[in-house]
Amino acid sequence: MYKKVLILSAALCATPLLKAQEADTLIKNDDSNPSLDESSFTFTESQLGEDDNDGKTSTVLSSASNVFTANVSMKLGASGYRFRAYDNKYNEVYINGVLVNDPERGYFRFSQIGGLNNISRNSDNALPFEENVYCMPGIAGSVNYDFRASQVPQGNKLTLSLANRTYTGRLMYSYGSGVNPSGWSFAGNITARYASINGFRNVEGAFYNSLSYYFGAEKIINSSHTLSLSTFANPTMRGSRGASTDEAYFLAGSNSYNPYLGYYNGEVRNSRVVRDFAPTTVLTWDFAANDNLKITTSALLVYSMYSNTKLAYNNSTNPAPDYYKNLPSSFYDVYDANNTENRRDVDLQNWNYVYDYWTSSVNSRYINFDKLYFANVSASKNGGEALYYMPQIHTERISAGLSSALRYNLGANSRLNLGISASRNKVNHYQTVYDMLGAKYLHNTNSYAVGSYDSGDYRVQYDMLHPDKLLQEGDVFGYDYNIFVDKADLWSSYSLDAGGLHAYVSGKIGYTDMFREGKMQNGFAPNNSYGPSKKAYFLDGGGKIGSTLNLGMGHAIDLGFGYQADAPDAGSAFSAPEINNNFVVGLDCEKILSGQLSYAYSGSMVKATLTGYYNKITDATKWTCFYSDDDHSFTYVSMTGIEKEYYGVEFGVSLKLTSKLELLALGAVSEAKYTSDCNASYMLSNSAAYKNDVVLSKGMREDGTPLTLASLGFTYNLKGWYLELTGNYFDRIYLSFSPVSRYAATLKKQELAEAPAQTEGKGGFMLDCSIGKNFRLKKGSLYAGLMLTNILNNCNICTGGYEQSRTDYSYNTSTDAVTDKVYKFSANPKKYYAWGINGMFNIVYRF
């Protein structure tokens, strides 16, 4: 695989692709303040999407014009803050003017540029109602990174970091040649980051290995033409962290307990290993016809390989240590003192027995790989197939994109931007047997369907083209399909300055098509799984208008409105893509209405912004999958007709108390909730039957981000010393709600009049500080700095998680009888907690 990638990368570097972007409009981040350098331009783990918090990575956002947005991402990244609680797909990320968001899921995985801090420092950020030269910004803003070689600071820079975060050690070296007399620029960066599985960390067993690189070359051909080539990637292998229940955290004695860990012959082993490698090449052509007309054209090629292992079981029991049947509360009802049936003496004895088991030894609360191997070996002695095995879930994507943006100064007071972009994308989803864990074989049959049909029935086959295939390690099984997505956009913006008024209007129109191509003939869809599906077409687009009215004396008011329709993500457009070619019924473009009013003051001592906003999203689609108790089956669930509202108030104040001391205060109170119930259609994996229901989603909120937050910090600068102390408070962090417990049918069975309230995590206060000093040397300079986060070690702040998609009752389909389970899934959501005290010590040597 890696050989294939190396060949591809080499080919990419040699391919003369064309691209572009407006280099001289970028915001250059000041490289003169080393403390700012290391704190502001190190992506936090939550921003990189590497803390496994249910995919809810923090928004990477900044702004030169808004005190709140300029600082909030860095100050509150530890809480998983997402800008206005939007999904990250609304945050558009560009490199040299070409869009790099995942075309299938919509969001950009910042881990693809992890470790390239020195390269990604030059960026052009735009808030939802700020114009820019590369796009019409999304509702969560947009950012364009300038990866041109000439933008990398000239000279050498060596950084050594020690930390107890995602990694424990980091070595980073970057070089920028600057522009030499012949017009060439060269730049490079190589970063190694490492954490051992047993290292001193805030997350147990989440080992980390990565070696990111960047190489750039740029040639100024003449005063009109410049070509630049950039290639980069961040090959990473890391162990994941899993959410768990409060009961498991209590039994383990720590909120950093990681249920994905296990012991194998006395050694620690993580069952979920992520491998991520996305070599990317961007070729950019900057063309300046004259001082008023500039065109930037960029071509992009990405080959992304992402995989994750996990534990699976077959005709056995779930090997997860925190599986509910392994927990004391599944033996004794700890919630209802009036439940005499499940609070007998024998139940209490069982509770104590399991409690003692969990707390007696660390081996008891982790995956016991020895047992899994032994079970497989034992089963094979009776001729049985694997009871436990490790699948590897693969997502491989090839994307080719081309974009071109024109900037034309119509006069001293007006500008026109015009851009086009197009991309072709192929995403291959498949699953392989990674580790048989000592078993001799496994069948490529649907374990959910086996038992529902005769053993010779074609419907139990995952692939009728290769029925009853015996699997060995490395074999593809279960599903194998491609998703193809083509996109094209045309956008424009026009801005005008007249007196104290700056106004702009922008608009875009886009085209998207998508289809699925199955590479297996699934027994549940023999005529609708192998080969290509029909193609779905979407026409989308929209517009924005905005204005800034300068009231004088530093006062200004911003006002903006927008409306747009976005094509649905391919990732939620298919009802059961692992099985068939069906699109979701009722699939539609989602509509977004947005508005914002902002007041800003900018004085010599004080800068302040106060913003109110309102957004409404309608016709949104969401896709998920989980095991359904009522149906005794795994289910693929599509929710359509979703309506959501986002509104709130944000403020930020930056106050210079003295020439050396500065105060920064941030705050936001927001709402991000479903305003209606939505339709659910789900397919059962044991029969391929579709069922329809209504999810009582009204009132549910976006999860994994604080809806209320405040921050107060002081920064002190003196003679090269830099000291910062910041207190952050966040609250109203909701957990991802479970659809199944809010199905109308579920509520009816339980005779409930309304849907259960969404689980809310516990917020809290966090104190951070950093200190650093810059030393000038005879040759170059040296910076040493220490950043400490959560120095009060508050480990009880819930940063996200999800409600378990299981019900609290058992249902008899013939009698309609409902029986309460002892274990209460509703009381045991899976949670992530904030890291305890953590820090990073940096030494930066420039020469």
Partner 1 sequence: MKLKNLILFLAVSFLVSCGEKDWDDVPGYFRNPNDLPYGYPFGNNTLVDENVISIADLKNRYSTVISSSQSALIEDDIKIKAVVSANDSESGLSNAVALEDETGGILVSISDNGICGYLPVAAEILVDLKGLYIGGYGEMPQIGAPYNNTIGRMNKYVWQDHFRILSDPEEGRVVPKIINSESEISDEYLGTLITLKNVSFHGADGKAVFAPDQGSSYVERYLNEYPTNYVIRTSAYYAKYANDIMPEGSVDLTVVLTRYRDTWQFLIPTRACIKLLED
Binding mask 53-92 for partner 1 (x = CB under 8 A): ----------------------------------------
The token pair at 205 is 């067993």
Choose, by CB under 8 A, the member of 33, 339, 342, 350 that binds partner 1.
350
Stretch that binds partner 1, among 246-254, 348-356, 706-714, 784-792 (CB under 8 A): 348-356
Residues in 102-121 at the binding interface with partner 1, rule: CB under 8 A: none
Q: Which is nearer to partner 1, 384 or 727 (CB)?
A: 384
φ/ψ of residue 269, rounded to 5: -135, 130
CB of 523 to partner 1, least distance (A): 14
CB of 410 to partner 1, least distance (A): 51
Q: Which residues of 702-722 are buried (b: 16+ CB within 10 A; e: fewer)?
A: bbbbbbbbbbbbbbeeeeeeb
Residues in 364-393 at the binding interface with partner 1, rule: CB under 8 A: 368, 370-371, 373-379, 381-382, 384, 387-388
- Strand partners of residue 760: 734
CB of 250 to partner 1, least distance (A): 18
For position 707 contacting partner 1 by CB under 8 A, the verdict is no
| DSSP result, 643-655 | EEEEEEEEEEEEE
| DSSP result, 312-370 | EESSS----TT-GGGSGGGTS-SS-TT--TT-SHHHHHHHHHHHHHHHH-GGGGSEEHH
Choose, by CB under 8 A, the member of 206, 334, 354, 471 that binds partner 1.
354
CB of 53 to partner 1, least distance (A): 23
Residues in 225-244 at the binding interface with partner 1, rule: CB under 8 A: 237
- Is 399 exposed, middle or buried, given 0-12, 13-18 or 19+ CB atoms closer than 10 A? buried
Q: What 3-state class would DSSP assign to 743?
A: strand
Interacting residues of 656 by C-beta distance below 8 A, sequence separation 6+? 604, 605, 606, 662, 663
The token pair at 590 is 């989602």
Number of CB atoms found within 10 A of residue 724's CB: 21
Distance CA 425, CA 302 (A): 9
Q: Which is nearer to partner 1, 162 or 606 (CB)?
A: 162
Length of the chain: 847
Q: Which is nearer to partner 1, 659 or 815 (CB)?
A: 815
For position 265 contacting partner 1 by CB under 8 A, the verdict is yes
By DSSP bridging, strand 142-145 and strand 92-95 are parallel
CB of 264 to partner 1, least distance (A): 6
Distance CA 203, CA 165 (A): 8
For position 2 contacting partner 1 by CB under 8 A, the verdict is no
Q: How far is CA 648 from CA 559, 612, 667, 812, in A?
A: 15, 6, 11, 46
Count of residues interacting with partner 1 (CB under 8 A): 56
CB of 232 to partner 1, least distance (A): 17
Q: Which is nearer to partner 1, 358 or 737 (CB)?
A: 358
How far, in whole angstroms, is CA 739 from its chain's centroid? 21
Within 13 A of 669's CA, how many CA atoms are on the CB side? 0
Residues in 273-302 at the binding interface with partner 1, rule: CB under 8 A: 273
- Is 3 exposed, middle or buried, given 0-12, 13-18 or 19+ CB atoms closer than 10 A? exposed
Stretch that binds partner 1, among 300-308, 353-361, 483-491, 703-711 (CB under 8 A): 353-361
For position 814 contacting partner 1 by CB under 8 A, the verdict is yes
Q: Which is nearer to partner 1, 308 or 452 (CB)?
A: 452
Distance CA 19, CA 295 (A): 9
CB of 317 to partner 1, least distance (A): 4
Distance CA 835, CA 398 (A): 35
CB of 439 to partner 1, least distance (A): 9
Task: Say if residues 312 and 387 touch (Cβ distance below 8 Å).
Answer: no
Identity at 297, one-letter amino acid code: T
Q: Which is nearer to partner 1, 381 or 778 (CB)?
A: 381
Binding mask 308-327 for partner 1 (x = CB under 8 A): -----x-xxx-------x--
For position 781 contacting partner 1 by CB under 8 A, the verdict is no
CB of 756 to partner 1, least distance (A): 27
Stretch that binds partner 1, among 109-117, 263-271, 292-300, 754-762 (CB under 8 A): 263-271
For position 138 contacting partner 1 by CB under 8 A, the verdict is no
CB of 454 to partner 1, least distance (A): 5
Residues in 621-650 at the binding interface with partner 1, rule: CB under 8 A: 632
CB of 824 to partner 1, least distance (A): 18
DSSP letter (8 states) at residue 553: T
CB of 812 to partner 1, least distance (A): 7
For position 815 contacting partner 1 by CB under 8 A, the verdict is yes
CB of 349 to partner 1, least distance (A): 8
For position 353 contacting partner 1 by CB under 8 A, the verdict is yes
Choose, by CB under 8 A, the member of 453, 561, 626, 765 that binds partner 1.
453
For position 269 contacting partner 1 by CB under 8 A, the verdict is yes
DSSP letter (8 states) at residue 595: E
CB of 663 to partner 1, least distance (A): 40
Q: Which is nearer to partner 1, 350 or 750 (CB)?
A: 350
Distance CA 451, CA 258 (A): 34
φ/ψ of residue 371, rounded to 5: -70, -40
Q: Which is nearer to partner 1, 729 or 811 (CB)?
A: 811
CB of 370 to partner 1, least distance (A): 4
Q: Which is nearer to partner 1, 127 or 471 (CB)?
A: 471
* Locus of tokens 């508050």: 794
Distance CA 26, CA 126 (A): 11
CB of 184 to partner 1, least distance (A): 23
Q: Which is nearer to partner 1, 368 or 717 (CB)?
A: 368
| DSSP result, 284-314 | EEEEEEETTEEEEEEEEEEEEEEEEE--EES
Binding mask 557-586 for partner 1 (x = CB under 8 A): ------------------------------
Task: Say if residues 373 and 438 touch (Cβ distance below 8 Å).
Answer: yes
For position 248 contacting partner 1 by CB under 8 A, the verdict is no
Residues in 454-483 at the binding interface with partner 1, rule: CB under 8 A: 454-455, 457
Residues in 144-203 at the binding interface with partner 1, rule: CB under 8 A: 158, 171, 173, 190, 192, 194, 196
Within 13 A of 523's CA, how many CA atoms are on the CB side? 27
For position 791 contacting partner 1 by CB under 8 A, the verdict is no
Beta strand spans in 111-207 (E): 123-126, 142-145, 155-163, 169-176, 184-195
Q: What 3-state class would DSSP assign to 176?
A: strand
For position 832 contacting partner 1 by CB under 8 A, the verdict is no
Q: Which is nearer to partner 1, 376 or 522 (CB)?
A: 376
The token pair at 163 is 């930390």
Of 301, 233, 232, the residue nearest 19 (C-alpha):
301
Binding mask 204-223 for partner 1 (x = CB under 8 A): -----x-x------------
Interacting residue ranges for partner 1, rule: CB under 8 A: 158, 171, 173, 190, 192, 194, 196, 209, 211, 237, 264-265, 267, 269, 273, 313, 315-317, 325, 331, 346, 350, 353-354, 357, 368, 370-371, 373-379, 381-382, 384, 387-388, 435-436, 438, 450-455, 457, 632, 812-815
